[in-house]
Chain A
Amino acid sequence: MNVESRREGTSLVLKADGRVDGTNASEFQDAMKSEINESDRAVVLDLQDLTYISSAGLRVVLLIAKDLQRQGAKMAACSLSDPVREVFVISGFDKIIPIHDSQDSAIGALS
């Protein structure tokens, strides 16, 4: 699992790859947290290369979403692979975190 970040206009794009499960969920959390600034107002989670996420990983996404909400920021996810999209849909996470087909449409929706 790796998290890379890049800024696109006023949005922070976090791109995660690999697998996130109970064994590396806290690394995943640290990796994302270290990329987010207090001044960020829009964060896009690009999950194109994330092949698997367990419930422990989803919890980290929730924690980050909650932190962002506290600082008045919005979050969206984009480009989910089929298995990850399925996890988001079954668990109902797609109702809390808007899912977009592409990075552009996620960035557009947040800005």
Chain B
Amino acid sequence: MKSITFNPRANGLSFWKAGLLLVLLSGVCAMARANTTVPAPTQDHPIILKGAVIYPVAYPPIEGAQILFENGKIAAVGKRIKVPKNAEIIDVSGKRIYPGLISPNSLAGLVEIGAVRATRDFTEVGDINPNARAERAVNPDSEIFPVTRANGVLMVNTVPSAGAKGLIAGTSALMKLDGWTWEQMVVKAPVGLHIKWPVRVSGGASVFTRRAAYSPGTKDEEKKYKKSLRKLEESFANARAYLKGVENASEKPETDVRWEAMIPFLKKEAPVFVHANRLEEIRAAVHWAEEEDVRLVIVGGQDAWRAGDLLREKNVAVIVSPVMALPLRRWEAYDTPYSNPAKLHESGVLFAIANKGNRGDAAHERNLPYQAAMAAAYGLPKEEALKAITINAAKILGVEDRLGSLEAGKDATLIVTDGDPLEIRTHVEMAFIDGRAIDLSSRHTELYEKYQEKYRQLKSE
């Protein structure tokens, strides 16, 4: 069997029935198509998925339910819904429907092949880069996106990273993983301003602090730490001065693109994401955010469970990035990172779960649900684990009005699976972004097809 080019309309078949047929025939958990990255057209007719167990996340699962979406938005979810005339009804009995998963801390889009410098676009020169915008460097034709969405991760928050000496990395952008251009892919930009908190004891698990080797806090490091903190404070002071200047009509300052980019964050229109792992850094960041009067999200947060009460009191959310990691310290329990989310949950802290957010994980965003599963294996209730990669991520990224749960009025961005998406053995069988049926083939399925053919040929020889 060679690759299949398939036009559902031309065949007069229901797109999805055909798709399921193919799944059954080939054993591949995706539509098999030669062209991996043809973005889907705008939804032009209402679609109803029926017969599945729907996991709306916002409320408990509904068995044998239907979901109707049109014009890219969810119109209704429930056991009985009014069927529009021209609706395409797809029977997905025995399946489950979930909101599209959201990876809240990722380099996907800014790197293609980690070791190849030419494909790295995530760290700008210098330490103060608030004006760097992730979305503008996202390559929509990255082979990483089809691979990622094929496992239900339909959105990634693409985050620029600070270099070894960097402080302010730039602004992140929430991208849906389908579109002809980066502009079409943008769900929201900027999502937040990303700051790498200076570390005294270097090391850790996030993209920002992974680079340096563990080392004791020497006097030099202490100096560097203080210098970095001063620089950070200075940047915010400068940006505020600039804002004052801009708002004061009589003496407008000449444009400074750095401080200009920081205005939305100074005005608390969007949060500042501070990447910090250790308790000391987290506390310092919370204190700093209060002083600066900015909205704070902690990213990384390996020690966040140690500061549960503080984070709840100050209303600081956390993106745990990642769960599957080695403990920060030799003496800590082996499951310290695994049980971090469960403890945050007990403390009442709002949190989401992410992969490592480093260049190695850019290509592995598809494994996001297993980060959440590990948290569930170590004490986090399963429904909370699901929230951590759907509605909680949406809340923290500021898109909960559009994404993260299956509710009328929200974007029709969802997945159909044959089981719990947090289980590896589960397959994602369909995906919709804004109601558009997404091609689940990828470089991986293509190569799989190609070489299956090799062995078929060998056997028939």
A complexed with B: no
